[in-house]
Structure 1
Amino acid sequence: MIMKVAVVILNYNSSEDCRKCVSFLKRQEGVELELVLVDNCSPDGDKVAALCREQNCTFIASSENRGYNAGNNVGLRYAAERGYKYALIANPDMEFPEPDYVAKLVATMEKDPEIVVCGSDIVGANGIHQNPLVRDGNWVTSFSWVNGIFRKKQTDSYEFIDNYKGSHYCAKVSGCCLMVRMDFIQEIGFFDEYPFLYCEEPILSRQVEMAGRRMYYLADAQAIHRHIPSTKGDPVKRFQHWKRSRLYFVNHYSGDSWLGKKLASFSIKLYVQLFIWTRSRY
């Protein structure tokens, strides 16, 4: 029996990316997909609505932009209401050259019911691997940005990337593209909607851990993330969003002691302040 899968694509002023992403997903084989495009109260929402009419996709308009997790939850609640077993979360700037990409993720999760979140190999336009991610450490790792000033950059992946060459259970996967088991998503009350942007992955990672379930990284499936950081708005404003979300993670999900949380919070605030100060000088 062919598995039916909901694909949630959250749009915010990315209608052209949405069109390209839909074109790749329309070529997927071995699964039956319902493409659910959620517009996060975006200036180009009308274009996405027109795309959905043209390509027979489901269009849902949010009444307000409450951030990444809240926007994706709109699509996930739709998927839950319609009884989907799995949902794929995909950013609009994702590309899927492999026609059996979604089918591979489904097959992996069907074999192991303990897997509630599954990610694949993801490469950027520069060829650098973006999955899987290492587990967030304790308060000590909140000071890792100090070492990062002097650390030599890797050429094939980032320093926060785990082994991408083989499939394995992992601690964390990128939120730009992942498959979730819908009964688990309903069990945790959907994605935590406090973060507007950033730290969605660490939070989901801890939720999976606390539930005694598993995340999995599938090296045999690959997608492309055409993310261009320079087009994503004011970096200072985005860093402020990161600080807000990271402090929330530290205080609610890190498991650190009271002192550890204070030290981590100090480091985060100092890091952001130094970034803003550096930006203001140039």
Structure 2
Amino acid sequence: MLTIPIILLNYNSSSDCRKCISFLKNQKNVEIEIVVVDNCSKSEDLCLLRTLCQEEQCTLIENKENRGYNAGNNIGLRYAVRKGYKYALITNPDMEFPQEEYLKQLVDVMEEQTEVVVIGSDIVTPEGIHQNPMMHDGNWKSSWRWIISFFKQKREDTYDFIDVYEHSHYCAKVSGCCLLVRLDFIQKIDFFDESVFLYCEEAILSRQVEIAERKIYYNATVQAIHRHVKNEKGNPAKRFKYWKESRIYYINRYSSYSWYGKWLSGISMRLYVTLMQLYYKIR
């Protein structure tokens, strides 16, 4: 039976980690090693995390510097590679896994379809909004799609960037909040790109998979719950700044846009972020 390392990246979320670990411990027909990477949390949260990992016999790796999502997860991924694991599940601490064969069903797809290097499941919020699979980024014109979204009537069960979630299929992207990766592929791309601190990790990974001529798969037969609470994540203006920087980096480094497409996309991103920061400032 395969042993799957599960990488939990913690940043001042030890209470979420405790709940997530309780779900992970209930996974059946698969062996697991829970690897908690602390991304330089406050001392009181780190103290709670140390106690939790000791109680639950989890591997704890303490990062002394918070360099973002990709860099933090890479610490866990490099540990998994050193241990000789074949796959690794990356999950946020605010995820819940009610299905006891959730992980096994993802692994089964990977075992059957060797061209698949990343797989995600159906993911819903407590309100039932679907967060997987994610649409392809498209050409530079898609960078202006946010204008249309202001006037377009939205579905109540998805976000604007979500593709068909009712059935399993190959897809462009899956959410970074929970995904299973093939570790030989992660080694091939020299792990996640650490140039972004936060946001656009999925777009970058999608492009890396595309360049390598491998596939991403969405498995609709299993579902996880994402209890992400936006108002607990700090200043939205700062988050938009991170998003703008990451998006522009993706466009310049990974997109196949022409030079004028990159230029126009950059203008779009800066305009969008300026408007959203203004909105949050005056609301």
Q: Return the TM-score normalized by structure 2.
A: 0.98
| TM superposition shift of 1:51 | 0.6
Of 39-48 and 107-116, more deviation after overlay is shown by 39-48
Q: Which amino acid aligns with 1:6?
A: P
- For 1:200, the equivalent position in structure 2 comes to 201
- For 1:35, the equivalent position in structure 2 comes to 34
Task: Give the unaligned 5+ runs of structure 2.
Answer: none
Task: Give the unaligned 5+ runs of structure 1.
Answer: none
- For 1:114, the equivalent position in structure 2 comes to 115
d(CA) in 2 for partners of 1:99 and 1:279?
Answer: 41
d(CA) in 1 for partners of 2:37 and 2:267?
Answer: 37
Moved over 6 A (4+): none
Please say if residues 88 and 177 of structure 1, whose CA atoms lie closer than 8 Å, have aligned partners that are also in contact.
yes
- For 1:157, the equivalent position in structure 2 comes to 158
Query: How many residues in Structure 1 have an aligned counterpart in Structure 2?
Result: 281
d(CA) in 2 for partners of 1:264 and 1:21?
Answer: 38
Q: Where in structure 2 are the equivalents of 1:130-209 lying within 5 Å? A: 130-209=131-210
| TM superposition shift of 1:281 | 2.5
- For 1:127, the equivalent position in structure 2 comes to 128
CA displacement, residues 201-220 of structure 1 (integer Å, 9 cap, x when unaligned):
00000000000000000000
SS of equivalent residue, structure 1 residue 250: helix
CA displacement, residues 205-241 of structure 1 (integer Å, 9 cap, x when unaligned):
0000000000000000111101111111000000000
| TM superposition shift of 1:110 | 0.1
SS of equivalent residue, structure 2 residue 37: strand
SS of equivalent residue, structure 1 residue 220: strand
Please say if residues 236 and 280 of structure 2, whose CA atoms lie closer than 8 Å, have aligned partners that are also in contact.
no
Q: Which amino acid aligns with 2:18?
A: R
- For 2:226, the equivalent position in structure 1 comes to 225
Please say if residues 38 and 59 of structure 1, whose CA atoms lie closer than 8 Å, have aligned partners that are also in contact.
yes
Q: Return the TM-score normalized by structure 1.
A: 0.98
Q: Which amino acid aligns with 1:82?
A: K
CA displacement, residues 25-57 of structure 1 (integer Å, 9 cap, x when unaligned):
000001100000000001112211111001000
CA displacement, residues 122-170 of structure 1 (integer Å, 9 cap, x when unaligned):
1111101110000111110111111111111211111211110111111
Q: Where in structure 2 are the equivalents of 1:1-282 lying within 5 Å? A: 2-43=1-42, 44-282=45-283
| TM superposition shift of 1:109 | 0.3
Q: Which amino acid aligns with 2:35?
A: V
d(CA) in 2 for partners of 1:79 and 1:126?
Answer: 34
d(CA) in 2 for partners of 1:145 and 1:161?
Answer: 14
SS of equivalent residue, structure 2 residue 268: helix
SS of equivalent residue, structure 2 residue 84: coil
| TM superposition shift of 1:86 | 0.4
d(CA) in 2 for partners of 1:138 and 1:71?
Answer: 30
Please say if residues 7 and 34 of structure 2, whose CA atoms lie closer than 8 Å, have aligned partners that are also in contact.
yes
d(CA) in 2 for partners of 1:216 and 1:280?
Answer: 39
CA RMSD of aligned residues (A): 0.7
| TM superposition shift of 1:7 | 0.3
Q: Which amino acid aligns with 1:116?
A: V
| TM superposition shift of 1:278 | 2.4
Please say if residues 130 and 157 of structure 2, whose CA atoms lie closer than 8 Å, have aligned partners that are also in contact.
yes
Please say if residues 125 and 227 of structure 1, whose CA atoms lie closer than 8 Å, have aligned partners that are also in contact.
no
